[in-house]
Amino acid sequence: TIVCMVILISLVDAIFTSSSEDEITRSLLLGVIAMIAVFAVIVITINKNLSRLVKMRTEELVEQRNNLENLVEEKTEALLKTERLSAIGELSGRLAHDLRNPLSVMKMSVDLIKQNPKDTKISEPNVTKRLDLIEKSIDRISHQVDDVLGYVRNSPLSLSSTSLRQLIKNSVEKINIPSDVNVTVSKKDVLVDCDSVKLDAVFINLIVNSIQAMPEGGNLEIKIFDRDNMAIIEFIDTGKGIPDNIISKVFEPLFTTKQKGTGLGLASCKNIVEQHQGKITVKNNPTTFTIILPKSISITNLQTK
């Protein structure tokens, strides 16, 4: 605008001050050329700004599109997971129902055989050992059924004051521990208000996971700590550890790296521990699962999920 005005003033000045017609025409021509030049500059500037604006808008749109794509992906995954979970729920209900009866028949038979030691063949050490193994396996299957059910339907807690050490030792006894795996339970004990059946399932899950992480053998150390109004339990194993990129996912339902895993083990552990108003966490080096449980739970705070 300023340049424009200068040109206009010089033009007017030229018209008024010069006498010859030739000079006036030349000044007019010069003025017109200058005005065209200024106009061109203005057009170029506008053009530049416009293309910058278009670029900015395009970038914004691309970002919005990416965000939307991510959102759609997330939602689809969540939906698929929910669908898979409800399918598992339905399936496990039927499976549990169908497995329970034959399992209890098997267990009863084993009990009856064991109660009949007059028969020499049955009291033979080899036979007793095999019977114990069958019994352990039956318990294991029942537990796996309970696991899936436990995850799918969250029954209310049935609380009683329990010795953690005894509970953990009982869980260890129920598992077939390979001879090259050494399990130790701390001497310390803490009494906690808990649902012993549910916590037993948690401990069995953690112990089995550790054993599976040590195919070449190793140590699993189970420590118990007494901290004010909390009990802390640590499961430390010398296994292969959990890769950094999956460690945040291990508590997610259906997350598994095992061919025959359900991926519900740790998810149900988390559910049960949280139902007890506790926390479960994991870290590497060495692989440690830590459970923090309040020693007593106020019934009024109990949420039945």
Ligand X SMILES: Nc1ncnc2c1ncn2[C@@H]1O[C@H](COP(=O)(O)OP(=O)(O)OP(=O)(O)O)[C@@H](O)[C@H]1O
Binding site for ligand X (CB under 6 A): 205, 209-210, 213, 237, 239, 241-242, 250, 255-258, 261-267, 287
Length of the chain: 305
Measured CA to CA, the distance from residue 82 to residue 255 in angstroms comes to 13
Q: Which two tokens stand for residue 254?
A: 């259906």
Least distance (Å) from ligand X to the CB of residue 211?
9
Measured CA to CA, the distance from residue 286 to residue 222 in angstroms comes to 13
Within 13 Å, how many C-alpha atoms sit on residue 225's CB side? 11
Q: Please, is 243 exposed, middle or buried when counting C-beta atoms within 10 Å of its C-beta (0-12, 13-18, 19+)?
A: exposed
Which entry of ligand X, Mg ion, none binds 150, CB below 5 to 8 A by partner kind?
A: none
Cα–Cα distances (Å) from 249 to 252, 266, 291, in that order, read 5, 10, 17
Q: Which residues bind Mg ion (CB under 5 A)?
A: 209, 265
Contact 293, 234 (CB under 8 A): no
Cα–Cα distances (Å) from 53 to 46, 85, 220, 246, in that order, read 10, 48, 63, 42
Which entry of Mg ion, ligand X, none binds 242, CB below 5 to 8 A by partner kind?
A: ligand X
Least distance (Å) from Mg ion to the CB of residue 206?
8
Contact 267, 280 (CB under 8 A): no
If the CB atoms of residues 128 and 262 are measured against ligand X, the closer one turns out to be 262
Q: Is 231 helix (H, G, I), strand (E, B) or coil?
A: strand
Contact 160, 196 (CB under 8 A): yes
